[in-house]
């Protein structure tokens, strides 16, 4: 790269607070060259391990394998998190291109007979290497992930499995993008009579959705999970609840405003695990809706960064999930996690607080604090690549 060529932020050192990705500097045009460089680096690293002539050991095989692909991990974590939570036409085009390529890349690594032979040799004679229980577990998980990816198959079967994996990656991407396109483009307009029997919170949310879309109708139901379920399943569930239990969900929701639910979840994490959450104002984030918190333990030591992305929007796929921009490890140095919890709650109408249903409260309360308690080692691949992880139990789960 010449001195006149600006550095690709995906491949540069991040000097941001807590080494968060510099989202404002990362543009769609940065991903392709970053993936190309990261894929090339990872191939070379894997080939060096496979081509070593020394007797296979934990230190000369498993450790370098754990350390390989760091650039690919970084690029992939940013890219796949954004394609799920805040995508665009440009990112979706890259996603369609890279999904099968990444599947092909990981298939080539797990199909590398020389590489697997070294892993298998370490697996077959672990006692001779004087390893700790954790190191033995790393070997076991690494070996198993290769086997599950087809490392023991014959040449023809490996080829066929690779074709299937690549095809599934392409189809999975196409399907998810089609679903998101439908969610963005479709909205069911409601007449005044259609509102009869709907709970007040849903009427308000439908009005908010109409304003956000500039719809002619005063109320619309988009294909958003937070509104679709109330429109069908919850509509009838509410009837049953009222008839059998005299319980009206609209009477519960005012007691479950989102901010207070988050506060309660953090309080619970403090009582159970000794964690404390401090909101961060001046850190890079990928969308204005996202909130960031530093997590510390009882002694004030840094545990990680927690990102909460709570509201539905056209650039986000439906559902709720936990992911990470960085997983924890202490293989060579201690690295703390950057975790993101993504939801699709409906915004409160006219700036009023977002109110959660009982089910939404339960999901938020159960998944929010334990995110830090369940984060494993550094991810070894994108979700479009090899099934399983390499070294899933490694890097000392410091919980």
pLDDT digits (tens, 9 = 90+) for 162-174: 999 999 999 999 9
- Position 221 scores a pLDDT of 85
Residue 238 confidence (pLDDT) above 90:
no
Residue tagged 């030591």 (tokens): 301
CATH of the domain at 54: 1.10.1370.40
- Say whether both 25 and 114 belong to one domain: yes
Q: Is 122 exposed, middle or buried (0-12, 13-18, 19+ CB in 10 A)?
A: buried
Mean pLDDT on 87-116:
97
**Is residue 388 in some structural domain?**
no
- Say whether both 237 and 352 belong to one domain: no
Which range is least confidently modeled, 24-33, 60-69, 120-129, 320-329?
120-129
**Is residue 12 in some structural domain?**
no
**Is residue 390 in some structural domain?**
no
Residue 385 confidence (pLDDT) above 60:
no
- Position 97 scores a pLDDT of 97
- Residue 64 binned pLDDT confidence (cut-offs 50, 70, 90): very high
- Say whether both 191 and 337 belong to one domain: no
- Residue 60 binned pLDDT confidence (cut-offs 50, 70, 90): very high
DSSP, collapsed to helix, strand or coil, labels residue 370 as helix
The residue among 76 and 380 whose pLDDT is bigger is 76
**Is residue 5 in some structural domain?**
no
- Say whether both 217 and 301 belong to one domain: no
**Is residue 384 in some structural domain?**
no
Whole-prediction pTM: 0.85
Q: Is 256 exposed, middle or buried (0-12, 13-18, 19+ CB in 10 A)?
A: buried
- Position 229 scores a pLDDT of 55
Distance CA 326, CA 196 (A): 47
The domain total for the chain is: 3
Distance CA 249, CA 233 (A): 13
The residue among 118 and 217 whose pLDDT is bigger is 118
- Position 128 scores a pLDDT of 67
Mean pLDDT on 221-233:
64
Mean pLDDT on 7-18:
96
CA nearest to 231, candidates 252, 206, 251, 256: 206
Sheet with strand 291-296: strands edge to edge: 276-280, 291-296, 302-311, 338-345, 321-326
The residue among 4 and 383 whose pLDDT is bigger is 4
CATH of the domain at 336: 3.40.390.10
- Say whether both 133 and 204 belong to one domain: no
Query: Could you tell me the residue range of the domain that residue 314 belongs to?
Result: 254-371
Q: What percent of the chain has pLDDT over 90?
A: 60
Residue 380 confidence (pLDDT) above 60:
no
- Position 398 scores a pLDDT of 28
Residue 235 confidence (pLDDT) above 70:
no
The residue among 232 and 1 whose pLDDT is bigger is 232
Q: Where are the alpha helices (DSSP H) in 51-88?
A: 63-67, 70-85
Q: What percent of the chain has pLDDT over 70?
A: 84
Give the H or E element holding residue 343. strand 338-345
- Say whether both 113 and 169 belong to one domain: yes
Q: What is the pLDDT of residues 326-370, one digit of tens each?
A: 998 888 889 999 999 999 988 887 778 888 887 788 777 666 655
Distance CA 273, CA 305 (A): 16
- Say whether both 170 and 313 belong to one domain: no
- Position 383 scores a pLDDT of 35
- Position 225 scores a pLDDT of 56
- Say whether both 23 and 66 belong to one domain: yes
Average pLDDT, the chain: 85
Give the H or E element holding residue 305. strand 302-311
- Say whether both 168 and 199 belong to one domain: no
Q: Hey, what are 110's tokens?
A: 């797990």
Residue 399 confidence (pLDDT) above 50:
no
**Is residue 235 in some structural domain?**
yes
- Say whether both 346 and 197 belong to one domain: no
- Say whether both 209 and 157 belong to one domain: no
Distance CA 73, CA 81 (A): 12
**Is residue 382 in some structural domain?**
no
- Position 240 scores a pLDDT of 77
- Position 214 scores a pLDDT of 85
Pairing of strands 338-345, 321-326: antiparallel
- Position 3 scores a pLDDT of 43
- Position 373 scores a pLDDT of 55
- Say whether both 179 and 215 belong to one domain: no
- Position 376 scores a pLDDT of 38
């Amino acid at each position: 790269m010449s001195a006149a060529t600006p550095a690709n932020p995906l491949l540069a050192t991040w000097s941001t607070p807590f080494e968060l990705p510099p989202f404002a500097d990362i543009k769609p045009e940065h991903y392709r060259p970053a993936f190309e460089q990261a894929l090339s680096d990872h191939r070379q690293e894997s080939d060096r391990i496979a081509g070593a002539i020394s007797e296979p050991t934990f230190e000369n095989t498993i450790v370098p394998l754990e350390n390989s692909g760091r650039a690919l991990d970084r690029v992939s974590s940013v890219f796949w998190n954004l394609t799920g939570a805040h995508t665009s036409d440009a990112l979706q085009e890259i996603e369609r291109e890279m999904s099968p390529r990444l599947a092909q890349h990981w298939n080539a690594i797990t199909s590398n007979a020389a590489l697997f032979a070294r892993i298998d040799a370490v697996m077959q004679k672990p006692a001779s290497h004087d390893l700790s229980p954790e190191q033995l577990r790393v070997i076991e998980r690494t070996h198993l992930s290769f086997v599950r990816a087809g490392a023991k198959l014959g040449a023809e079967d490996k080829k066929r499995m690779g074709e299937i994996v690549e095809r599934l990656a392409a189809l999975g991407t196409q399907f998810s993008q089609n679903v998101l396109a439908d969610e963005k483009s479709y909205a069911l307009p409601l007449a005044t009579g259609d509102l009869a029997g709907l709970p007040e919170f849903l009427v308000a949310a439908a009005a908010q959705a109409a304003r956000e879309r500039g719809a002619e109708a005063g109320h619309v139901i988009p294909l958003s999970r937070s509104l679709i379920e109330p429109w069908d399943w919850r509509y009838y569930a509410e009837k049953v609840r009222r008839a059998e239990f005299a319980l009206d969900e609209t009477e519960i929701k005012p007691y479950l405003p989102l901010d207070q639910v988050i506060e309660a979840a953090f309080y619970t994490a403090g009582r159970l695990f000794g964690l404390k959450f401090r909101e961060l104002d001046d850190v890079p984030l990928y969308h204005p809706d996202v909130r960031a918190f530093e997590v510390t333990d009882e002694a004030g030591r840094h545990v990680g960064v927690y990102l909460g992305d709570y509201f539905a929007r056209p650039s986000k796929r439906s559902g709720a999930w936990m992911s990470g921009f960085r997983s924890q490890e202490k293989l060579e140095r201690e690295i703390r996690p950057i975790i993101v919890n993504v939801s699709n709650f409906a915004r409160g109408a006219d700036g009023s607080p977002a109110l959660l249903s009982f089910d939404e409260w339960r999901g938020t309360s159960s998944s929010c604090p334990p995110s830090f308690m369940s984060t494993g080692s550094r991810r070894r691949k994108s979700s479009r690549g090899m099934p399983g992880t390499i070294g899933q139990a490694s890097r000392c789960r410091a919980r």
